[in-house]
Copies of this chain bind each other. A is one copy, B any other.
Amino acid sequence: MYLGIVIGNVWATRKYDQTKGFKFMFVQPLNAENQKIGEPIVAIDTIGAGTGEKVIYVTASEAVIPLPVDFAPIDASIVGIVDSINLEK
A residues near B (Cβ < 8 Å) are 1-3, 6-16, 18-19, 24, 26, 28-29, 31-32, 37, 39-44, 46-48, 51-52, 56, 58-66, 71-77, 79-88
Point out the residues of chain B lying under 8 angstroms from A15, CB to CB. Answer: 47, 56, 79-81
Q: For the complex formed by this chain, how many copies does it contain in all? A: 5
Cβ of A75 to closest chain B Cβ, rounded Å: 5
Task: Tell me the nearest residue of chain B to A41, going by C-beta.
Answer: B2
Point out the residues of chain B lying under 8 angstroms from A74, CB to CB. Answer: 1, 58, 62
Q: 10 shortest A-B CB distances, which residue pairs?
A: A15-B80, A12-B80, A8-B87, A1-B42, A65-B73, A16-B79, A51-B88, A14-B81, A31-B39, A62-B73
Point out the residues of chain B lying under 8 angstroms from A87, CB to CB. Answer: 7-8, 26
Interchain residue pairs with CB less than 8 A apart (23): A2-B41, A2-B42, A3-B10, A8-B85, A8-B86, A8-B88, A10-B84, A12-B80, A14-B48, A16-B77, A16-B79, A18-B65, A19-B80, A24-B80, A26-B32, A29-B39, A51-B88, A58-B75, A60-B60, A61-B61, A61-B62, A62-B63, A65-B72
